[in-house]
Amino acid sequence: MKALKIFTIVLLSTLVFAACTKNNNINDPGENPVIESVNDLVVPPDFDWKTQQTIDVVVSLPQTGELKPLLITNRDGSKRYFRGFPEDGSRTLRTKITLPAYEYELRLIYSGTNGPNMAFISNGQMYYDFASSQKSLTVVGCDLSNFTTYSKGGWGQKAAGNNVGVLRDQYFDQVYPDSFVIGDPDNYTITFDNASDVETYLPGGGGPQVLNKSWINPGKKDKLGNMADQIIAARMNRDYNAAGFLGVNPNYDLGELVFIDGPFANMSVNDFLAMAEIALGGGGLNGYSANDYANTAENIINSFHEGNNAGILTCPPNPVVEDPFVELTASCIDGDVVFTLSNTGDGAMTSAFSGSLYKNSNEIENFTYQLDVNESFVIMASGYNTDVFEITVETPQNETLEETLTGCGAEEEEEEGETTEQLGGTLAYEDLWPGKGDYDFNDLVIDYEFDIVKNNQEVVQSITATFVVKAFGASYHNGFGFTFPTVSPSDIVSVTGYDVVNTSVFDITGNGLENGQSKATIIVFDDARRVMPQTTGGIGVNTQLGYDYIEPVTISLEIIFASNAVTYSELNIGAFNPFLIVNTEINGVPGNRGLEVHLPNYEPSDLFDTSFFGQMEDASDPAQGKYFVTENNLPWAINIAEPFDWVIEFQDITGAYHVFAEWAQSGGINYPDWYKNNSGYRNNNLIYPMQIGN
């Protein structure tokens, strides 16, 4: 159908929409309407449609010893989000990092310190002080078999097949013979009389907050906040387990397990929930924040999500005092070798013991360690993919522990003192702005990855920006570019690798930037149909199953920065501004430069034609900082934090991704990982990459 749509940017009134585009019906969210299209969504007016979050980080590093790089990862260390130093040479690191919106807890690793050190993200910030870190807890021989937990969305789903909704309905009256009540009986509570009332309310929504009144059977539109929602789900996991209906372990109930780390380290689930319910009901936060309670309750939910142990809870400690027992583990985190010594015994080390770290048979560090019960010690080093690291450690048992790790590093060597950062994801566009599209978000699907090289003062040296054109379901000839909003054109020495031949529409300067821009703007390619040609017809490429699959096209840019121009925190890579340029060629002749499509509430470039604002369905209001959204706050583009499997042509994204609608209507609170291939999240029959070869 898109091939039949006629668009003339001079005469907007002649634009014809496809008949399959649905009317924009406004529904009362309290009526729980059936969502058949993005057009049916009722989203908060301030929802930003972001699947990423950029947070301010402040970390007080150890005050003694050689200054070393800090690593910030996800909880289990499988994804690195930062590696670097304080910009001013002090012992306080301040920076910005961008990571998926679903992350709420981060691990901090600093060589020579106890760990793991965990910190919650709260209100777009993360603060941590190594001087006041909490001990972590580990228990030898802890049997954590058979435990299972489910999310608030799981407990709120309609009963079907063998899902947790069936479990909820079948045993609710046995687990709660009167009613299910949470909160502070002396202040405010939430009461659910029946299993169906839980289904009606969850997954809830809204930011973490304390109750200001009591509720009986709240409805779908009653957003009580993420603190309440997570505690409700955590209670149900604990209660159904205690009643013998969910994840029964031969030795312990879920409520008896204790937190390994975090603000409630060493506290049992039972004790935490008792404190959390008092806090929720208005009885006092006890020195913690609503966010702490919400995130810790979510940790209970994630501890054994669908039977997978996430390393969040462990068995209660053995009261028998025995000797210390030291274990050594090794891991590779994006080129950094991390060796961890843990005292998993039941006694403290009464004296220090020594160890040595070798790189390619040369000793690079010697150290001593002395661990209390449940403490661990981290030794970290960096290398390249050919380096061999070996650590030897003396233990209280008069043994020598050894570990060797190879192949942990980058493919290409960096200069001495350099560190690297990465940011990647997928951009998905509709190209009919200012007219509304069909919301399959496949008019351009393009992966991106920025590899940023910086020195040990955090000054950006260079960026390798890689873009992979995966698909486009558009008949237009569209270009693509991006802006660094905090970077001046003079801050960049050169850009190479872009693919632009249409010099009638695009004016590229000698250093590779686009001319006429006050902020550094780079055109990656001028025409998707030229760089990724069709071979067998159809609307575009890789969106219709009836036509050949074409291998994605990769374009790699090298961006060299001027000396001392921009630090990593000033760059704020998460704020980069990508955009589509529509109709760069029309009927075989050069088109126009002025029509851009941006992510919601991202400003257009200096070369944008502002006369398009307010036309057709666009409700942009530059005076209010509102751009590229409809009157009902619907977007024309989304930035997905991780690789994204796009939707088949003409299929609305809400049909393919089952929890997309709940994510949007909750303002991003519920299902921030909606794009993942989790159980019940999506219909693979409507997702193009899943059908190739079927």
Q: What is the DSSP letter of 251?
A: S
Q: What is the pLDDT of residue 165?
A: 96
Model confidence at 321, pLDDT cuts 50, 70, 90, reads low
Residue 431 in this model has a pLDDT that exceeds 70: yes
Average pLDDT, stretch 583-591? 94
Higher pLDDT, 199 or 16: 199
pLDDT of residue 86: 96
pLDDT at 135 over 80: no
Please check the confidence at residue 306 and state whether its pLDDT lies above 90: no
Q: Cis bond leading into 590, ω under 30°?
A: no
Domain boundaries, the chain: 152-314, 326-406, 416-645
Q: Give the mean pLDDT of 638-664.
A: 96
674 pLDDT above the threshold of 60: yes
Residue 112 to residue 480: CA distance in whole angstroms? 46
State the CB neighbour count (10 A cutoff) for residue 484: 23
C-beta atoms surrounding 400 within 10 Å: 10
Q: How confident is the model at residue 397 (pLDDT cuts 50, 70, 90)?
A: confident
Counting residues of the chain whose pLDDT is more than 90, the rounded percentage is 79
**pLDDT value of residue 410:** 65
What pLDDT score does 537 carry?
Answer: 85
> CATH class for domain 326-406?
mainly beta
DSSP state for residue 632 in the 8-state scheme = T
Q: How confident is the model at residue 247 (pLDDT cuts 50, 70, 90)?
A: very high
pLDDT for the residue 138: 55
Average pLDDT over residues 196-212: 95
Average pLDDT over residues 669-684: 94
At residue 317, the pLDDT reads: 75
Q: Are strands 70-73 and 105-109 parallel, antiparallel or unpaired?
A: antiparallel
> Does the pLDDT value for residue 356 go beyond 80?
yes
Lowest mean pLDDT segment, chosen from 39-48, 383-392, 459-468, 557-566: 383-392
> Do 230 and 151 meet the contact criterion of CB atoms below 8 Å apart?
no
Helix (H, G, I), strand (E, B) or coil at 607: coil
d(CA 126, CA 139): 29
Q: In what order do the strands lie in the sheet with 388-394?
A: 362-369, 353-359, 388-394, 400-406
Span 229-251, mean pLDDT?
Answer: 97
pLDDT digits (tens, 9 = 90+) for 469-491: 999 999 999 999 999 999 999 99
The model's pTM: 0.89
167-171, 248-252, 628-632: range with lowest mean pLDDT = 248-252
Q: What is the pLDDT of residue 97?
A: 97
pLDDT at 529: 96
Residue 638 predicted with pLDDT over 50: yes
Secondary structure (DSSP) of 507-557: -B-TTSSBTT-SS-EEEEES-HHHHS--SS-SSSBSS-TTS-----EEEEE
527-558 burial code (b ≥16 CB/10 A, e <16): bbbebbeeeeebbbbbbbeebebbebbebebe
Q: Tell me the average pLDDT across 119-126.
A: 93
Reported as a single tens digit per residue, the pLDDT across 141-151 is 688 999 999 99
Mean pLDDT of the chain: 90
Q: What is the pLDDT of residues 496-545, one digit of tens each?
A: 999 999 999 999 999 999 999 999 999 999 999 999 999 888 899 999 99
Q: pLDDT band for position 137 (50/70/90)?
A: low
Helices (H), strands (E): how many in the chain? 11, 30
pLDDT band at 411 (very low <50, low <70, confident <90, very high): low
Phi-psi region of 693 (alpha: psi -120 to 50; beta: other; left: phi over 0): left
Average pLDDT of the residues in 32-45: 88
Q: Which tokens is 415 given?
A: 């200069």
**Cα–Cα distance measured from residue 534 to residue 527, given in angstroms and rounded to the nearest whole number:** 12
Q: What pLDDT shows up at residue 27?
A: 33
Res 319: pLDDT: 57
Query: What pLDDT is recorded for position 318?
Result: 66
pLDDT for 29 equals: 38
Check whether 26 has a pLDDT greater than 90: no
Query: Do residues 469 and 555 touch, judged by C-beta distance below 8 A?
Result: yes
